[in-house]
Chain A
């Protein structure tokens, strides 16, 4: 029995060590509200923030998370946004069916941050504009390396944003449903009009061809039949290279922003990221 208990404890310890290494972690594990892998907080500060975040998250049914790391590139991801998404999806964090919540990822190597809102309510509560307000809250403290107060300001502001969001969300959903119904109606109309148009064009093309066959007395404008078999006799065939031009088109990634700008989808991930 003792041996079993010791083994379980060891396993638990190993798991807790692995938690911060988001990309390397097994999917479906659990993640606290505050994970400080970069060691920016004292134990007390971390515990206090954890309690605060848990309280807000439970109260509003929308997860508010903080994760710090030394260097997000260690996880082999292309950008801080994709690293944040990896953490969010691997640990299945967030509340409700759509995983509502916001993850604040801080990477110390190049002083990067990313705010990753997720879920329909998460995206509504932490819209692009509201994420900017969160940045405004923590950024002054972070610039002075005051991590604790920065995180605290983030949590306080998040709660301030969640209060009106909870109240406005039903009306927003109703609006959304109406808009979707309108779009659906429009799409149905477009399908009908498109079908009729294509039907008319097809009939016009076929009947036009049939009508053309009724008129065969047409003046000729070429003399193809009378060209000698040896023609043309080409005398000059010159191809002069003039120059080479090069155009570069950057492929846009969906739901990715950089340099402090933001964007995103309704229930997927939307980001605001930058440097502090």
Chain B
């Protein structure tokens, strides 16, 4: 059973056309009438509607609990009968603009009605403890992402020619991806066995004198906001590879930045993500402290280490990512672009013909030239 008034459409105050956040201007714009509004103005305008939607969602959940379905929230009931097990993680909403039924993922925070095209926000997904601390608004638009992908193909010598020319972008979507930002301190205490050698000659003897040292280095390494994506749907490798983000542009969360983009809430808990942040911090801390011991010694071998991590504040933020997917030879290729910095990554297919062509093109001349050199000069 779809639940009305639990989602909010962002419509132009002038013409009721769909709004979208424009990263270049930093304002919310209407493509129909050309209206342009500050984010704060849209947020203030929709503040009451968002609160109403959050209250309606809370009331629906309470009602479902009273009916003895406490373990099942309102959305689950609405789709599970028809969708079977797949419906367990689905929610059904009614679009306030056109009345169409929207089937969304249980983590969806913002989406778009496929019928009327209105940007739609699910306020209950950022209510109370679910509210992100920060949002990093998109700075680059869809055109920039398409251009970046074309550039990305350009200098890849092993890319099959048909991939770049024939392949079409199947889907391109700006997504606010939920990230946990971990701050903290790594306390490192390391010991090393190091040597320093001097060699001199006395007649027909070569004398090597080696000084042996026991080194100890201990110190703290502070980290700020190590990002770990809190969405199972997003591949960790893709999300890691588009780092870093420029945190100086972080804003306190406002739904005014969401129109025109998808947004998900986290579905990987903070504790689960903390493990990855800890591993990354420990590795860097060890490298940094070890680097202070290497100078001036011929050899320096770690003999012991102790790394203690003190976690500081943990923040929840939505960070901007353009996801692009293409299909070629019955294979899907997924690319991700940092919506702020424009860094684009993704795995590309390798043309075997080109690979072996380059291999032979390098191996044969090198071997031939070397053989000629050896035969003529040795």
* A223 vs B212: C-alpha distance when bound (angstroms): 33
Give A177-193 as 1s and 0s: 1 = Cβ < 8 Å from B's Cβ atoms. Answer: 00000000000100110
Set of chain B residues within 8 Å of A1, measured between Cβ atoms: none
* Contact yes or no, A218 B241, CB < 8 A: yes
Q: Shortest distance in angstroms between A169's beta carbon and chain B's nearest beta carbon?
A: 30
Q: Shortest distance in angstroms between B160's beta carbon and chain A's nearest beta carbon?
A: 11
Closest to B348 in A: A214
- With A191-B371, A206-B358, A236-B216 already in contact, the answer to whether A231 and B205 are too (CB < 8 A) is no
* Contact yes or no, A217 B204, CB < 8 A: no
* A194 vs B364: C-alpha distance when bound (angstroms): 13
- With A220-B241, A239-B213, A245-B212 already in contact, the answer to whether A228 and B158 are too (CB < 8 A) is no
Q: Shortest distance in angstroms between B376's beta carbon and chain A's nearest beta carbon?
A: 11
- Our count of residue pairs bridging A and B at CB distance below 8 angstroms stands at 199
Residue A160, interface by CB 8 Å: no
Give B188-210 as 1s and 0s: 1 = Cβ < 8 Å from A's Cβ atoms. Answer: 11000010000000001111111
Name the contact of A199 in the complex, choosing from B158, B188, B350, B363 (C-beta under 8 A).
B363
* Contact yes or no, A210 B366, CB < 8 A: no
* A204 vs B366: C-alpha distance when bound (angstroms): 12
* Contact yes or no, B280 A222, CB < 8 A: yes
- With A206-B358, A218-B241, A245-B210 already in contact, the answer to whether A236 and B204 are too (CB < 8 A) is no
Q: Shortest distance in angstroms between B252's beta carbon and chain A's nearest beta carbon?
A: 21
* A227 vs B182: C-alpha distance when bound (angstroms): 12
Name the contact of A191 in the complex, choosing from B235, B277, B374 (C-beta under 8 A).
B374
* Contact yes or no, B277 A199, CB < 8 A: no
* A62 vs B349: C-alpha distance when bound (angstroms): 76
* Contact yes or no, B208 A249, CB < 8 A: yes
Closest to B336 in A: A217
Set of chain B residues within 8 Å of A204, measured between Cβ atoms: 359
- With A215-B347, A217-B346, A249-B206 already in contact, the answer to whether A235 and B218 are too (CB < 8 A) is yes
* Contact yes or no, A234 B219, CB < 8 A: yes
**Chain B at the A interface: SS class:** mixed
Residue A174, interface by CB 8 Å: no
Residue A195, interface by CB 8 Å: yes
Give B208-240 as 1s and 0s: 1 = Cβ < 8 Å from A's Cβ atoms. Answer: 111111111111111111110000000111101
Residue A211, interface by CB 8 Å: yes
* A210 vs B348: C-alpha distance when bound (angstroms): 11
Interface size class of B (residues with CB under 8 A): 35 or more
Residue B370, interface by CB 8 Å: yes
Residue B378, interface by CB 8 Å: yes
Q: Shortest distance in angstroms between B152's beta carbon and chain A's nearest beta carbon?
A: 9
* Contact yes or no, A191 B375, CB < 8 A: yes
Set of chain A residues within 8 Å of B212, measured between Cβ atoms: 241-245
- With A207-B359, A246-B207, A246-B209 already in contact, the answer to whether A219 and B240 are too (CB < 8 A) is yes
* Contact yes or no, B209 A217, CB < 8 A: no
Q: Shortest distance in angstroms between A171's beta carbon and chain B's nearest beta carbon?
A: 31
Residue A253, interface by CB 8 Å: yes
Residue B159, interface by CB 8 Å: yes
Set of chain B residues within 8 Å of A240, measured between Cβ atoms: 213-216
Residue B308, interface by CB 8 Å: no
Residue A232, interface by CB 8 Å: yes
* Contact yes or no, A226 B223, CB < 8 A: yes
Set of chain A residues within 8 Å of B216, measured between Cβ atoms: 236-238, 240
Set of chain A residues within 8 Å of B208, measured between Cβ atoms: 246-249
Residue A42, interface by CB 8 Å: no
Give A245-257 as 1s and 0s: 1 = Cβ < 8 Å from B's Cβ atoms. Answer: 1111111010000
* Contact yes or no, B237 A232, CB < 8 A: no
Closest to A228 in B: B222
- With A214-B347, A221-B283, A244-B212 already in contact, the answer to whether A234 and B292 are too (CB < 8 A) is yes
* Contact yes or no, B292 A244, CB < 8 A: no
Name the contact of A222 in the complex, choosing from B210, B237, B287, B367 (C-beta under 8 A).
B287
Residue B310, interface by CB 8 Å: no
- With A198-B367, A220-B243 already in contact, the answer to whether A214 and B223 are too (CB < 8 A) is no
* A227 vs B157: C-alpha distance when bound (angstroms): 35
- With A222-B280, A236-B216 already in contact, the answer to whether A199 and B367 are too (CB < 8 A) is yes
**Residue of A206, A218, A231, A236 with most chain B CB atoms under a 10 A cut-off:** A231
Name the contact of A232 in the complex, choosing from B236, B289, B363 (C-beta under 8 A).
B289
- With A214-B158, A236-B216 already in contact, the answer to whether A227 and B237 are too (CB < 8 A) is no
Residue B156, interface by CB 8 Å: yes
* Contact yes or no, A217 B238, CB < 8 A: yes
Residue B281, interface by CB 8 Å: yes
* A231 vs B222: C-alpha distance when bound (angstroms): 6
- The interface of chain B, by Cβ under 8 A from chain A, is 156-159, 188-189, 194, 204-227, 235-238, 240-241, 243-244, 277, 279-281, 283-285, 287-289, 292, 334, 336, 345-350, 355, 358-368, 370-371, 374-375, 378
9 CB-based A-B contacts, threshold 8 Å = A204-B359, A210-B355, A220-B243, A224-B284, A228-B222, A237-B292, A241-B213, A244-B210, A249-B208
- The interface of chain A, by Cβ under 8 A from chain B, is 188, 191-192, 194-196, 198-200, 202-204, 206-207, 210-211, 213-228, 230-251, 253
20 additional contacts (CB under 8 A) given A219-B240, A226-B224 = A191-B378, A196-B363, A196-B367, A198-B367, A210-B157, A214-B159, A217-B241, A217-B334, A219-B236, A221-B280, A223-B277, A223-B284, A226-B223, A231-B222, A232-B289, A234-B289, A235-B219, A236-B219, A241-B213, A242-B214
